[in-house]
Chains A and B, each alone.
Chain A
């Protein structure tokens, strides 16, 4: 295993390679949660439904769009 320095460098490289994906993910999830908030309050669903649905939606989205890439793996 790489040392701390190596791990940090790996993370930076990793984030650099997936920068666009991370940003798109955060935006997509934010939109999803806001939509969900509207639906839950409009339909009067109980509050405990809200958090599991937010989580499950984000996970489903992730499996739909695929994985992160390794640095140098290409788009």
Chain B
């Protein structure tokens, strides 16, 4: 204690050294604890991957007994948003709101997972409907489109338009995309559908057979319609047409017919398209939503507009545009130029991710397109809806 000042100065320096040492040790301890803490697990919990069944496909495309689910993982928040929107949309459809012309779930992308619901209404119903929708759709964003002037589609004079014949048909096998018809009507053949027992059918749109939406539908799926036992013709080229089969079942609500093949020609699980063409199976509802989320386009081959591509605009939709009946399980995609009269009965499809060079998976039928101003898409019954309601699959 003789030299007070010097001692204090030494003490100060020693204190500072110990202070720094303590800070360094504590910082090290903090980093160590941080490194040991389960931050990866906690962060991952908000961003968990969910496994979905995106399709049902056959391991051997020709053998319906080999149908298997196809799975993949998607971001959890995206999955919850889109399935939540499906639930809300189901409630909307069940509420049977008058003035509602159509609606569909619009999935978000992986980066912006919020899903929304597109709603099309008549002008006079808009204000009433919008209030009701706010109540019903509280949890989901929705986009309203007012549809004005929804006149019945004019009869287009189809006779002077060209038909897209398929080159080099592998007869007697007839793939989807081939022009077909009945009497004066032109349509497009789908790839073959399998029923529950694995039997194959020729398929096209039901509205070719003249049964309108107003027809009696008390016996859904029965063969009491106008077109029962009518023959389904396929147009091979300008000069020749062949009878492919006879109509066995009509499904006006899903807008397709099953025709039992004659002995002459065989329905084939293929599409007459450039690129991969063997149909291995079909997408599920969530599988189509996943395609929409990733902006993956669909393709189509039709008797009128040939080969076209387009993006998905809405999944699991309802359409009440034509007639007084609403159709469920409708896929909205493409544009008005994707589809025209005569393409009815064609399917939308895209390459199978497991065999993209050879196989395709089907999204659903193409039955109609918008003909009024303000909207621009093609729609049709999705394959999963045909499986759920009618028990058939691509």
Residues of A near any B CB (own CB < 8 A): 21, 25-26, 29-30, 32-34, 36-37, 40-41, 44, 47, 50-51, 54-59, 61-63, 66-70
Q: Which residues of B contact A (CB under 8 A)?
A: 14-16, 18-19, 21-27, 29-31, 33-35, 37, 39, 42-43, 46
- Whether the pair B27, A55 counts as a contact (CB closer than 8 A) is yes
A interface SS class? helix
Q: Do A50 and B34 have beta carbons less than 8 Å apart?
A: yes
Docked pose: A52 CA to B312 CA in angstroms: 45
Give A68 to B15 CA distance when docked, in angstroms.
8
Q: Are A29 and B26 in contact (CB under 8 A)?
A: yes
Q: Please give the distance in Å from B106's CB to the nearest CB on chain A.
A: 25
Task: Give complex CA distance A41, B37 in Å.
Answer: 12
| Nearest neighbor of A54 in chain B, beta-carbon distance | B34
**Cβ-defined contact, B30 with A32, below 8 A:** yes
The 4 nearest A-B residue pairs measured at CB:
A58-B30, A54-B34, A62-B23, A67-B19
> Which residues on B sit within 8 Å (CB–CB) of A44?
46
Does B18 contact A55, Cβ atoms closer than 8 Å? no
Assess the A47–B39 pair: CB atoms within 8 A: yes
A32 to B37, CA, bound (A): 12
CA distance in complex: A70, B25 (Å): 16
Contact of B30 among A40, A55, A68 (CB under 8 A): A55
Instruction: Determine the distance from Cα of A61 to Cα of B19 in the docked complex, in whole angstroms.
Output: 11
Closest to B29 in A: A29
How many Å lie between the Cα of A70 and that of B26 in the bound state?
Answer: 18
Interchain CB contact (< 8 A) of A63 among B19, B21, B43: B19
CB distance from A59 to the nearest CB of B (A): 5
Q: How far is it, in angstroms, between the C-alpha of A25 and the C-alpha of B131 when the chains are bound? A: 59
Which of chain B's residues has its CB closest to A32's CB?
A: B30
A65 shortest CB reach to chain B, Å: 9
Report whether A54 and B33 are in contact in the complex, using a CB–CB cutoff of 8 Å: yes
